[in-house]
Amino acid sequence: MSAGVLAPKRGLAGRSRWGRLRTGAGANLLRAIVSNHKATAGAILLLIFVFFAVFPGVIAHDNPQAEIYARAAAPSAKHLLGTTTYGQDIFSQLIWSTRESLFIAVIAGALATVLSVLIGVSAAYLGGGADSVLSLFTDVFLVIPAFPLIVVIAAYAKNGGDAILIAVLVVTGWSYGARQLRSQALSLRNRDFLVAARLRGERRWRIIVFEILPTMTSLIVANFLGAALYSVLAAAGLQFIGLGNPNTMSWGTMLYWAQNNEALQIGTPLWAVMPGIALALLGAAFSLLNYAFDEISNPALRPVGRKRGRRRS
Amino acid sequence: MSYALRRLGFFVVTLWVALTINFALPRLMPGNPAIAMMARFRGRVNGNVLKALEIAFGVNTKQGLVSQYFSYLGNTLTGHFGTSLTFYPNSVSQVVFSALPWTLGIVGVTTVLAFALGTLVGMTSGWRRGSVLDSVLPPVFVITSAFPYFWIALLAILLFPITLHVLPIGFGYSNTDTIGWTWHFVGDVLYHAVLPALTILVTSIGGWILTMRNNMITTLSEDYVRMARAKGLSPLRIMFDYAGRNAILPNLTGFAMSLGFVVSGAILVEYVFSYPGVGFLLLQAVQNEDYPLMQTLFLLITVAVLVAILVMDFVTMLLDPRTRSES
């Protein structure tokens, strides 16, 4: 889909059918990840990045921002990926940047998901006028082009730091999930176990928190993965054009400095290539997990010939 | 008819929200950023332009917020977008309309191409479950769909102009050209469009393939497909007329959306290639703090999406009787 630059790539988790999933999804989730190749690959990738983010110093010993090495040096045993025009070690920068990129993705993804759940589930559960207003609100945010809006907000709030960046990503990233969660919650509304809970006289918030949300765990996780993927790419795009904070260490910022110093033309292409690969791998981790979740939830999509060998002619 | 009215209402509401965002954002930011912009351009632009800017951004004006809002709405709806500061003394409309054809040309063509190719490949891949095509393509495109567009553009530049010394590194045409409908100029424009177009194609085709494949698989288990098989129809006929035709419906909506997004298109790809389209213009406006131009571009992009959605709503109404009978 060429829609938007980054935004609507989340169609992958599109028409999930979580009907069969019962409560207590935690153990199921783990089992599902282990049994699906795409999910396993995604999870391992993600774990590696988490390790880089938490312990960057274990792998990269050089100070990533010190401008003390030979300038624009080619890769060598001492500098695995060479150095930048400023004399910084590229490998070290790459590893240390993981923290910021992953942090923004996870926080923005999580906050956007919380907002989706709040708005989507309440719209479905409250119904009537509240539903109409919340749905309209969601639809409006869904069609306003996200990336141009991000660019415009970031342009006004020059160098606002990570807080602004995350806020912008959340504001533009919640609506897709809210719509999905709303329709999922709507389909649950008249299920027997909810009717039973209502007849028992359970309070509204209890029904939502203890009856509805656990049933939707998997869709919520899928939404988080989609929102995190979107945040990785959108944040990198913003940082690349210089609308992030250029003094922090992240892959998007590395690309910004590489582009500003014409890294491709002056013979230090790794400066621009490696952060892109890192971004792509982190994105791929989220994307693989997301797609695997779609397969787990919609058995029709699973690769044929493995579990049930019934082939269609 | 009520369906049509509701969709029209949605169009109006969303347009109003976009207009209000434009109005409110600079005023909400701590220390109205427009003041800094004014300070930079004072003395460089003439008094009337500055006065108009002050009114547009609520600086040094005695008008109340409400009357500012209404005069802003009035000006925008009647097409008075003001003067561009980056391209002074050109008006914003002139600047935008000179960039529009470039984007419509390159992103428009690649969007249609990506949709057509992606849908066809996805359909075939879903039809032949477990074939080589089906086991190779989906995983590949799941991964490429996570690639940053602009990085693919950087790789393309590294590979072709820099390493292989073919194709230009950027811009829409050569400096030495005279602009006009000559074979030479058109050829040069096409030559310059190859790399950006390929970049957009490569990064956008994956989504179409994946969604079409998954739709196809879901459709293939429907009863009417089994019925078609039972009747002994030719496989090709079942693939296109029975399964494909229904599987493509959700994708058509997505296609309409992406046609709307053509205008905002590949902002970052245009930026990397310095391609003289709307996306590059938007980033130029941002970098020069040219807020009137930036606001107008955001509005234009939103309107393009809204119009595309509205048109698609009406087309859906014609194609799908269920939407018409819905209350």
- Least confident span in A63-72, A254-263, B51-60: B51-60
Q: Where residue B311 falls among pLDDT bands split at 50, 70, 90?
A: confident
Instruction: Locate all alpha helices (DSSP H) within B44-164, ordered by sequence.
Output: 47-57, 65-77, 92-127, 132-144, 149-157
Is B317 or B101 the better-scoring residue by pLDDT? Answer: B101
pLDDT over threshold 90, residue B192: no
Q: Give pLDDT, residue B324.
A: 65
Is B80 or A296 the better-scoring residue by pLDDT? Answer: B80
Distance from CA of B182 to the nearest CA of A (A): 31
Q: Which residues of B touch A8 (CB under 8 A)?
A: 207, 254, 257-258
Q: What is the mean pLDDT of chain B?
A: 83
Which tokens hold the place of A212?
């509805």
Which tokens hold the place of A185?
């919650």
Q: Look at residues B33, B32, B30, B24 and name the one whose alpha carbon lies nearest to residue B69.
A: B24
Q: Give pLDDT, residue A18.
A: 42
* Residue A56: cis peptide before it, omega within 30 degrees of 0: no
Which tokens hold the place of B277?
């389209």
User: Within the 250-309 window of chain B, which residues sit less than 8 Å (CB to CB) from chain A?
Assistant: 250, 254, 257-258, 260-262, 264-269, 271-272, 282-283, 286-287, 289, 294-295, 297-298, 301-302, 305-306, 309
Which residue in A has a C-alpha nearest to residue B219's C-alpha? A300
User: Within the 182-241 window of chain B, which residues sit less than 8 Å (CB to CB) from chain A?
Assistant: 200, 203-204, 207-208, 210-211, 214, 217-218, 220-221, 229
**A151 CB near a chain B CB, below 8 Å?**
yes
**A78 CB near a chain B CB, below 8 Å?**
no
Average pLDDT of the segment spanning B279-288: 88
User: Within the 82-141 window of chain A, which residues sit less than 8 Å (CB to CB) from chain B?
Assistant: 136, 139-140
Q: Give pLDDT, residue A22.
A: 43
pLDDT over threshold 90, residue A300: no
pLDDT tens digits, B15-48: 999 999 888 888 887 766 777 777 777 767 777 7
H/E element, B269:
helix B267-272
Q: Give pLDDT, residue A85.
A: 78
**A5 CB near a chain B CB, below 8 Å?**
yes
CB–CB of B104/B308 below 8 Å?
no
Q: Which residues of A touch B266 (CB under 8 A)?
A: 2, 5
Q: Give pLDDT, residue B321.
A: 66
Considering only CB atoms, B294 lies closest to which of A145, A152, A269, namely: A152
**In whole angstroms, how large is the CA radius of gyration of chain B?**
24
Average pLDDT of the segment spanning B229-243: 89
Which tokens hold the place of A25?
């999804």
Q: Look at residues B150, B83, B300, B99 and name the one whose alpha carbon lies nearest to residue A240.
A: B150
Considering only CB atoms, B298 lies closest to which of A149, A158, A233, namely: A149
Average pLDDT of the segment spanning B103-126: 90
- Least confident span in A106-120, A225-239, A276-290, B129-143: B129-143
Which tokens hold the place of A89?
């070690």
Q: Where residue A11 falls among pLDDT bands split at 50, 70, 90?
A: very low
Is A157 or A54 the better-scoring residue by pLDDT? Answer: A54
Q: What is the ipTM of this complex?
A: 0.84
Contact state of B254 with A1 under an 8 Å Cβ cutoff: yes
pLDDT tens digits, A214-247: 888 878 888 999 899 989 989 999 899 888 887 8
Q: Where residue B244 falls among pLDDT bands split at 50, 70, 90?
A: confident
**A142 CB near a chain B CB, below 8 Å?**
no
Distance from CA of B186 to the nearest CA of A (A): 25
pLDDT over threshold 70, residue B293: yes
Q: Name the most confidently modeled range: A85-89, B160-164, B300-304.
A: B300-304
pLDDT over threshold 70, residue A309: no
CA angle B47, B50, B56 (to 5 degrees): 145
Is A33 or B128 the better-scoring residue by pLDDT? Answer: B128
**Residue entry with tokens 């730091």:** A161
H/E element, A154:
helix A146-156
Q: Give pLDDT, residue A299.
A: 66
Q: Give pLDDT, residue A159.
A: 66
Q: Which residues of B touch A5 (CB under 8 A)?
A: 149, 264-269
Q: What is the mean pLDDT of chain A?
A: 81
Q: What single-letter amino acid sits at B255?
A: F
Identify the residue among B112, B115, B127, B150 best suited for mutation to test binding to A, counting A beta carbons within 10 A and taking the highest: B150
pLDDT over threshold 80, residue A116: yes
**A309 CB near a chain B CB, below 8 Å?**
no
Burial class (CB in 10 A: 0-12, 13-18, 19+), B238: buried
Q: Give pLDDT, residue A48.
A: 94
Beta strands in chain B (DSSP E): none
Q: Which residues of B touch A12 (CB under 8 A)?
A: 142, 145, 210-211
Query: For residue A36, how many other CB atoms are within 10 A of its CB?
Result: 22
Q: Give pLDDT, residue B71.
A: 83
pTM, rounded to two decimals: 0.82
Q: Give pLDDT, residue A10.
A: 38
pLDDT tens digits, A81-108: 888 878 788 888 899 999 999 999 999 9
Average pLDDT of the segment spanning A292-299: 72
**Residue entry with tokens 């019962």:** A22
Q: Give pLDDT, residue A8.
A: 37
- Least confident span in A226-230, B6-10, B248-252: B248-252
Residues B159, B22: Cα–Cα separation, whole Å: 40
Is B226 or A79 the better-scoring residue by pLDDT? Answer: B226
Distance from CA of B47 to the nearest CA of A (A): 24
- Least confident span in A43-47, B105-109, B137-141, B225-229: B137-141
User: Within the 210-239 window of chain A, which residues sit less than 8 Å (CB to CB) from chain B?
Assistant: 229, 232-233, 236-237
Average pLDDT of the segment spanning B319-323: 67
**Residue entry with tokens 């109340």:** B64
Distance from CA of B286 to the nearest CA of A (A): 6
Average pLDDT of the segment spanning A184-194: 84
Q: Which residues of A touch B110 (CB under 8 A)?
A: 2
Helix (H, G, I), strand (E, B) or coil at B258: helix
**B130 CB near a chain A CB, below 8 Å?**
yes
Which tokens hold the place of B160?
């072709």
Which tokens hold the place of B46?
């003439």
Q: Give pLDDT, residue A2.
A: 36
What are the residues facing B83 on neighbouring strands? B91
Q: Give pLDDT, residue A311.
A: 42
User: Within the 10-69 window of chain A, which residues sit less than 8 Å (CB to CB) from chain B?
Assistant: 11-12, 14-15, 38
User: Within the 152-181 window of chain A, which residues sit less than 8 Å (CB to CB) from chain B?
Assistant: 152-153, 155-158
Q: Which residues of A touch B218 (CB under 8 A)?
A: 15, 298, 300-301
Contact state of A143 with B218 under an 8 Å Cβ cutoff: no
Half-sphere exposure of A59 (CA within 13 A, CB side): 19
